[in-house]
């Protein structure tokens, strides 16, 4: 199938490459000339593991242009993956989306015999696809949706750092289509790049939009639930929330994934999706109590980590924050735990040194000159009375085993044990002292 992908960012560029390597002819469209020239030179325009290899293997099936109209008219299906930034009220703004959809409609308006399916992949507020997006598309195209013009909503469930794997091995595909026949056409394209042929759930666009938000907010609720257990267990002599959560997760009604105490969640999706659901509920006269509690626990978790760090400071009041990206494998620092912990420590008057293998440049724009920037882990640990490991980068496995006189707070239990002499290793969610259960023979 001839496909176009509008918006070649952190999600769009991997999708374009995945589609091309599944054998489709793909034209990527972006307003940024640098992104387009990167793609045409065969270079990954964003940092994402596996993207470069996939682009190389896609060869001539993937090209890019800034000329949206030509791309639309040369293809039969368009995925729109432009930014939908959060507004002041927490809802997702449609400015870029409506601009893109209007341009797509305009291109299609001049070609009455061209059949086209527009697929909205960006995260949007429930009601957007059949509401303002549909209106903009129909207005610009000069005709209503029908046999030759269709609109679907189909989000991707991906996490940065594992976008390509998540995209090609999803638990499910969500297809939100008002017209089932078009939904089936979209499903065939989605299944073409998923070797395990996951179930395709056909929904109305608004139900698909709602399901996308619900998945993300439910997952964040599991994280905050585990951090709530952590808060309780830390005050309960001998308790360890990690062990409790691991046991709870074995109940198949619950499941172990994302049910781990430690760092708060961050990144470009989880925090804002949660806030958007609350905002949606309020706009409808209700409240999303669970989503609101989830967000409150998440914010408190960062300040709790900073408070624990402060209690372990020595006379120099020096701390290291290791990990500024919201997860390993990505340079993205948006809403990351490390940034929040570093900021809370600065507020408490602590001298903070930070390190991250990939996120330093982005973090500099947020943390500025208030912190010391370490070039490597050893420099970060040098003189630090407390080190907080906030992202489980493999680089930090040796932090607790590095000799020195300090406390290491390992949010991910990712440090190799035993800790070196002089190092006190503590885990969020574990009360001290812990009761170790002797292994049975
Ligand atoms: N990044 C994620 O983890 C993730 C996960 C799920 C969903 N999403 C959603 O996907 C959407 C895109 O996110 P992203 O992280 O890929 O954004 P991004 O900022 O990395 O990339 C967006 C790209 O779109 C381009 N663009 C903007 N307006 C355009 C236009 N009118 N025409 C063509 N190109 C245009 C930009 O130049 C940029 O290259 C958002 O709605 C986001 O919520 C992102």
Q: Which mutation among 17, 28, 82 tests ligand 1's pocket best, with the greatest number of atoms within 8 A of CB?
A: 82
Considering the candidates 152, 269, 414, 415, report the single residue annotated as catalytic: 269
Is the link from the previous residue into 418 a cis peptide, with omega within 30 of 0? yes
Backbone angles phi, psi at 372, to 5 degrees: -95, 135
Encoded tokens for 48? 């994402």
Q: Report the pLDDT value the prediction gives residue 431, as an integer from 0 to 100.
A: 84
What would the 3-class secondary structure string for the chain be? CEEEEECCCCCHHHHHHHHHHCCCEEEEECCCHHHHHHHHCCCCCCCCCCHHHHHHHHHHHEEEECCHHHHHHCCCEEEECCCCCECCCCCECCHHHHHHHHHHHHHHHCCCCCCEEEEECCCCCCCCHHHHHHHHHHHHHCCCCCCCEEEEECCCCCCCCCHHHHHHCCCCEEEEECCHHHHHHHHHHHHCCCCCCCCEEEECHHHHHHHHHHHHHHHHHHHHHHHHHHHHHHCCCECEHHHHHHHHHCCCCCCCCCCCCCCCCCCCCHHHHHHHHHHHHHHCCCCCHHHHHHHHHHHHHHHHHHHHHHHCCCCCCEEEEECCCCCCCCCCCCCCHHHHHHHHHHHCCCEEEEECCCCHHHHHHHHHHHCEECCCHHHHHCCCCEEEECCCCHHHCCCCCCCCCEEEEECCCCCCCCCCCCEEEECCCECCCECCCCCCC
If you average pLDDT over every residue of the chain, what do you get? 95
Q: Using alpha carbons, list the distances in angstroms from residue 119 to 129, 152, 316, 377.
A: 10, 5, 56, 44
Which residues' Cβ are closer than 6 Å to ligand 1? 6-12, 29-32, 35, 81-84, 96, 99-100, 122-123, 156, 158, 160, 268-269
Residue nearest to atom 20 of ligand 1 (CA): 9
CB atoms within 10 A of CB 171: 10
For 134-171, the pLDDT digits (tens) are 999 999 999 999 999 999 999 999 998 899 999 999 99
What are the residues facing 320 on neighbouring strands?
353, 387
Question: Would the pLDDT of 441 be above 70?
Answer: no
Question: Would the pLDDT of 248 be above 80?
Answer: yes
Length of the chain: 441
Whether the Cβ atoms of residue 35 and residue 45 lie closer than 8 Å to each other:
yes
Residue nearest to atom 33 of ligand 1 (CA): 30
* Residue 111: band (very low, low, confident or very high) from pLDDT cuts 50, 70, 90: confident
Q: Report the pLDDT value the prediction gives residue 112, as an integer from 0 to 100.
A: 81
Q: Report the pLDDT value the prediction gives residue 287, as an integer from 0 to 100.
A: 94
What are the residues facing 28 on neighbouring strands?
5, 64
Indicate which atom in ligand 1 lies nearest the CA of residue 97.
31
415-418 contacts, C-beta under 8 A, 24 or more apart: 415/389
Q: b or e along 69-85 (b: 16 or more beta carbons within 10 Å of the residue's beta carbon)?
A: bebbbebbbbbbbbbbe
Residue nearest to atom 15 of ligand 1 (CA): 10
Question: Would the pLDDT of 108 be above 70?
Answer: yes
Overall average pLDDT of the 284-300 stretch: 96
For 44-68, the pLDDT digits (tens) are 999 999 999 999 999 899 999 999 9
- Tell me what percent of the residues of the chain surpass a pLDDT of 70: 98
Report the separation in Å between the CA atom of 415 and the middle of ligand 1, taken as the mean of its atom positions: 34
Instruction: Please name which of 175, 78, 147 lies closest in space to residue 119, comparing C-alpha atoms.
Output: 78
Distance CA 375, CA 361 (A): 12
Report the separation in Å between the CA atom of 32 and the middle of ligand 1, taken as the mean of its atom positions: 12
Report the separation in Å between the CA atom of 380 and the middle of ligand 1, taken as the mean of its atom positions: 34
Q: Using alpha carbons, list the distances in angstroms from residue 437 to 99, 151, 235, 344.
A: 61, 58, 19, 36
Report the separation in Å between the CA atom of 7 and the middle of ligand 1, taken as the mean of its atom positions: 6
Residues with Cβ within 8 Å of residue 394, at least 6 apart in sequence: 328
Report the separation in Å between the CA atom of 283 and the middle of ligand 1, taken as the mean of its atom positions: 25
Distance CA 175, CA 121 (A): 10
Indicate which atom in ligand 1 lies nearest the CA of residue 121.
10
Q: Indicate if 411 belongs to the active site.
A: no
Q: Which mutation among 80, 81, 106 tests ligand 1's pocket best, with the greatest number of atoms within 8 A of CB?
A: 81
Report the separation in Å between the CA atom of 13 and the middle of ligand 1, taken as the mean of its atom positions: 9
Indicate which atom in ligand 1 lies nearest the CA of residue 99.
31
Q: Report the pLDDT value the prediction gives residue 113, as an integer from 0 to 100.
A: 86
Q: Report the pLDDT value the prediction gives residue 436, as an integer from 0 to 100.
A: 53
* Residue 434: band (very low, low, confident or very high) from pLDDT cuts 50, 70, 90: low
pTM of the model: 0.92
Backbone angles phi, psi at 383, to 5 degrees: 85, -5
Q: Which mutation among 27, 68, 83 tests ligand 1's pocket best, with the greatest number of atoms within 8 A of CB?
A: 83
Residue nearest to atom 31 of ligand 1 (CA): 100
Overall average pLDDT of the 328-353 stretch: 96
């Amino acid at each position: 199938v001839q496909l176009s992908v509008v918006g070649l960012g952190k999600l769009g560029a991997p999708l374009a490459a995945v589609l091309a390597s599944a054998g489709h002819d793909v034209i990527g469209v972006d307003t940024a000339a640098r992104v387009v020239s990167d793609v045409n030179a065969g270079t990954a325009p964003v940092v994402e593991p596996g993207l470069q290899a996939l682009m190389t293997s896609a060869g001539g099936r993937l090209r890019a242009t800034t000329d949206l109209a030509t791309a639309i008219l040369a293809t039969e299906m368009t995925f729109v993956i432009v930014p939908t930034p959060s507004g002041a009220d927490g809802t997702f703004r449609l400015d870029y989306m409506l601009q893109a959809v209007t341009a797509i409609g305009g291109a299609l308006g001049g070609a009455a015999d061209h059949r086209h399916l527009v697929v909205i992949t960006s995260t949007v507020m429930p009601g957007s696809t059949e509401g303002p997006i549909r209106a903009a598309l129909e207005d610009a195209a000069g005709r209503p949706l029908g046999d030759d013009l269709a609109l679907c909503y189909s989000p991707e469930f991906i996490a940065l750092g594992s976008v390509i794997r998540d995209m090609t091995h999803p638990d499910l595909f969500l297809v939100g289509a008002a017209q089932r026949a078009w939904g089936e056409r979209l499903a065939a394209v989605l299944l073409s790049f998923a070797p395990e042929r996951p179930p395709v759930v056909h929904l109305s666009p608004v139900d698909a939009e709602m399901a996308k938000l619900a998945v993300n907010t439910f997952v964040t609720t599991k994280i905050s639930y585990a951090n709530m257990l952590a808060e309780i267990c830390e005050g309960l002599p001998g308790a360890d929330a990690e062990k409790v959560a691991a046991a709870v997760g074995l109940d198949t009604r619950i499941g172990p994934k994302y049910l781990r105490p430690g760092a708060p969640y961050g990144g470009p999706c989880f925090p804002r999706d949660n806030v958007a659901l609350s905002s949606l509920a309020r706009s409808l006269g209700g409240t999303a109590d669970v989503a609101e509690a989830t967000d409150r626990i998440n914010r408190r978790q960062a300040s709790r980590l900073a408070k624990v760090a402060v209690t372990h400071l020595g006379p120099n009041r020096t701390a290291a924050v290791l990990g500024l990206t919201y997860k390993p494998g990505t340079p993205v620092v948006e809403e990351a735990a490390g940034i929040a912990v570093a900021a809370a420590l600065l507020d408490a008057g602590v001298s903070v040194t930070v390190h991250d293998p990939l996120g330093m440049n982005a973090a500099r724009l947020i943390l500025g000159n208030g912190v010391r920037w370490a070039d490597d882990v050893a420099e970060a640990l040098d003189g630090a009375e407390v080190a907080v490991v906030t992202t489980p980068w493999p680089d930090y496995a040796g932090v607790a085993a590095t000799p020195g006189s300090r406390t290491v707070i390992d949010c991910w239990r990712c440090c190799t044990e035993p800790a070196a002499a002089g190092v006190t290793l503590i885990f969020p969610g574990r009360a001290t002292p812990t009761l170790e259960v002797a292994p049975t023979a």
